[in-house]
Amino acid sequence: MKDMGEMLLREEPFAEIVMGNTALVRAMVEAQTRVVTSYPGSPTPEIASAIRAIPADQRPFYFEFSTNEKVATEVAFGAALNGHLATVFFKSVGLNVTADTFVQLSLLNIPGGMVVVLGDDPGANSSQNEQDNRHYAYLSYTPIFEPAGPDEVYSYYLQAAALSQKLGKVVILRLTTHVCHAKETVAFRGYTPTEQDNTPRFSVKNGPYIPLTSAVYPMKERALRQLGEIEDWVDKRNLHTVVDNNSKLGIITSGLVYLSLLEVLGTVPPSKTKPDILKLAMVYPVPRHTIVGFLKKHEEVKVLEELDDELERSIKAIAYDLGLQTRIIGKNDMGDWIGEYTPEKVEHILHATWPDLLETPELPEPAGQTPARPPQMCPGCGHRSAFHAIGEALADEDITVADIGCHTLGFQEPYNLGELVLCMGASPGIGSGLSLFNTTRKVVAFLGDSTFFHAGLPGIINALFNNHNLTLVLMENGTTAMTGHQDHPASGRNFNEISEAIPIRQLLEGLGVPSIFETDTYKQEELRKIMRQAINEERFNVVIARHPCMLLFAKKQRKAKGTNPYQVHIDQKACEKITTCIAKFGCPSFVNNQTDGTITVNKDLCIGDGSCIPTCPSKAIKR
């Protein structure tokens, strides 16, 4: 693909191999979406990357990274109230952040239409859990489409947008990690740019928009009534897929699981009849008429779904209410509730359900012991220098609280800093709780600069308000590094343009933080002294441990100069083989050669930042 931006705006019909996240952006363009908002989080950042490929002056919609998912949802909602089709996207746990706002949306009339794109994460590939966000759909009476691959990401977004605009109701498009990242040839329709009407259309006549007691019941009745309308709407468009093999056995499934199922059923011998399949396009509201028709034609039906038993319970309830005799088979054991439904897993599940259908799955021969490869902070990462210095300033019994970000990796050897983590912005609050009735163990919490703006401020304000004795280390690297170097309010620019940076120190001073220390993390001795001073203060204080993200810095250097001219090496005459560089500093650029015990530098990894130089007791690391 030569020019993604050109492709996304191409006016004539065409076909292209794209990933799911890219197909989504093309669908946004074709649907005449006007406002798109987000907070970055895997598996969705490539949606923004595709948006960035469209030149700003040609982009047919407004896009922003908001300070968190709740704000992003509210900005999109406000735009939709003004009559503009709006979309918000974020990762799975982002729905927890915006839940207070999100659960109200289906009660309200949204004239412009609004689509919520979720990047759910079965298998917890890049998340702290693998929560099943279909529960939120049930909780809030929100319809939810579930595509299986990029082609359906594209077509289902168009359907979701049309349905949302027709009913004035928020609609969820639930993607999962490998739907976002899978590639497939997608046949795109033509696109005709149109002149947009920017007249604000908000009116209280479209409401009510204040869900007080007297208004809530009519709002809820409307939301429930719409679920029936939605079920009929989807049925009439034949969005559900039925594979008819004229079998007495059937399988009901949805999303990416359907593709794993097709792969497994491809191994069924020709002498055996494959089960029929009902693949649902919309998993909530559960399409009763379609499911009942499928159940009546089969003696046994297996419900095949990742994570929780949402469909299983609904389908069994429908069958019970109607007195159907079909045997409905759901999850068999604990393993069925956990992890992604890869073809291998689906094969084992189907064999456990119908042993005669498939041969006993063969377990692959072990290929030998694979060395452990834990996630690493990048070479030159300022967080590594910070952890090395801070670890030497703390006592073994002191308590350290992590947060979400690259610095979460501090919990690993050799640093062992950040002994617990919960969610974004939780560390100041957790640290405050750990400080109560605690006069013998210092408490230190870590927080990234992006998370500071996302969800860290309330915990900081609370620590000040309630006089908690806590040291907060604010790891400032100038970007949202973990999800792809998106800007944040202190970066000096937003997605679209240069903006006024919000200085973190001045913000902390404005809140009234009594003690604020700051230094570059490469100045390790200075950071050690600061930490010892900070933890001995009997009050809340903040240490700003600052250094730019070196992955981003090195990328810019290579782009500007073509190469990285800086390296370090080990002076073998000076090296005493103490291995502090490996055992305590832990930079992956260092290699301990087992044959002769020498320490060398992997030049493919070393970026020559020199943060390792002061850590060597023998002074053997040289530029």
For 295-335, write each residue's pLDDT tens digit. Answer: 999 999 999 999 999 999 999 999 999 999 999 999 988 99
**With bands split at pLDDT 50, 70 and 90, how would you rate the model's confidence at 187?**
very high
Of 264 and 407, the one with more pLDDT: 264
Whole-angstrom Cα distance, residue 6 to residue 478? 31
Q: What is the pLDDT of residue 563?
A: 59
Q: What is the CA radius of gyration of the chain?
A: 27
**Across the chain, what does the average pLDDT equal?**
91
Q: What is the pLDDT of residue 371?
A: 64
**Would the pTM of this model clear 0.95, i.e. be above it?**
no
Mean pLDDT along residues 482-511: 87
What φ, ψ does residue 477 adopt, rounded to 5°? Answer: -120, 5
**Which residues make up the CATH 3.40.50.920 domain(s) of the chain?**
241-353
Q: Which one, of 194, 151, 206, lies nearest residue 34 by Cα?
A: 194
Q: Is the pLDDT of residue 561 over 80?
A: no
The residue assigned the tokens 């159907």 is: 324
Whole-angstrom Cα distance, residue 516 to residue 510? 12
Task: Report the first-to-last Cα separation within the chain, whole angstroms.
Answer: 41
Q: Is the pLDDT of residue 26 over 50?
A: yes
Lowest mean pLDDT: which of 222-231, 274-283, 414-423, 504-513?
414-423
Q: What is the pLDDT of residue 366?
A: 59
Mean pLDDT along residues 376-401: 91
Mean pLDDT along residues 67-95: 95
Q: Is the pLDDT of residue 1 over 60?
A: no
Q: What is the pLDDT of residue 338?
A: 93
Percent of the chain with pLDDT over 70: 96
The token duo for 406 is 């690259």
**With bands split at pLDDT 50, 70 and 90, how would you rate the model's confidence at 596?**
confident
* DSSP reduced 3-state for 10: coil
Q: Is the pLDDT of residue 339 over 50?
A: yes
Q: Does domain 566-622 have CATH number 3.20.20.120?
A: no
Mean pLDDT along residues 330-356: 93
Q: What is the pLDDT of residue 368?
A: 66
Return the H-helix or E-strand segment holding 24.
helix 20-30
Q: How is domain 241-353 classified at the CATH fold level?
A: Rossmann fold (3.40.50)
CB atoms under 10 Å from CB of 44, counted, come to 25
Mean pLDDT along residues 143-166: 97
Mean pLDDT along residues 41-70: 94
- Options 3.90.550.10, 3.30.499.10, 3.40.50.970, 3.10.180.10; CATH for 382-555 is 3.40.50.970
CB atoms under 10 Å from CB of 576, counted, come to 12
Q: What is the pLDDT of residue 479?
A: 82
Lowest mean pLDDT: which of 174-188, 304-318, 476-490?
476-490
**With bands split at pLDDT 50, 70 and 90, how would you rate the model's confidence at 562?**
low
Whole-angstrom Cα distance, residue 340 to residue 347? 13
**With bands split at pLDDT 50, 70 and 90, how would you rate the model's confidence at 600?**
very high
The token duo for 3 is 């020019």
Q: Is the peptide bond before 208 cis (omega within 30 degrees of 0)?
A: yes
Q: What is the pLDDT of residue 370?
A: 63
**Which residues make up the CATH 3.30.70.20 domain(s) of the chain?**
566-622
Q: What is the pLDDT of residue 96?
A: 95
Q: What is the pLDDT of residue 87?
A: 98
Architecture of the domain made up of 4-236: 3-Layer(aba) Sandwich (3.40)
Q: Which ranges constitute the DSSP H helices of 32-133?
A: 45-53, 69-81, 94-97, 99-105
Percent of the chain with pLDDT over 90: 72
Q: What is the pLDDT of residue 291?
A: 97
CB atoms under 10 Å from CB of 479, counted, come to 22
Lowest mean pLDDT: which of 244-253, 348-357, 546-555?
546-555
> CB of 35 within 8 A of CB of 8?
no
Mean pLDDT along residues 105-133: 92
Q: What is the pLDDT of residue 483?
A: 79
Q: What is the pLDDT of residue 210?
A: 87
**Which residues make up the CATH 3.40.50.970 domain(s) of the chain?**
4-236, 382-555
Q: Is the pLDDT of residue 252 over 90?
A: yes
Q: What is the pLDDT of residue 69?
A: 95
Residues 6+ apart with CB under 8 A from 391: 415, 416, 417, 584
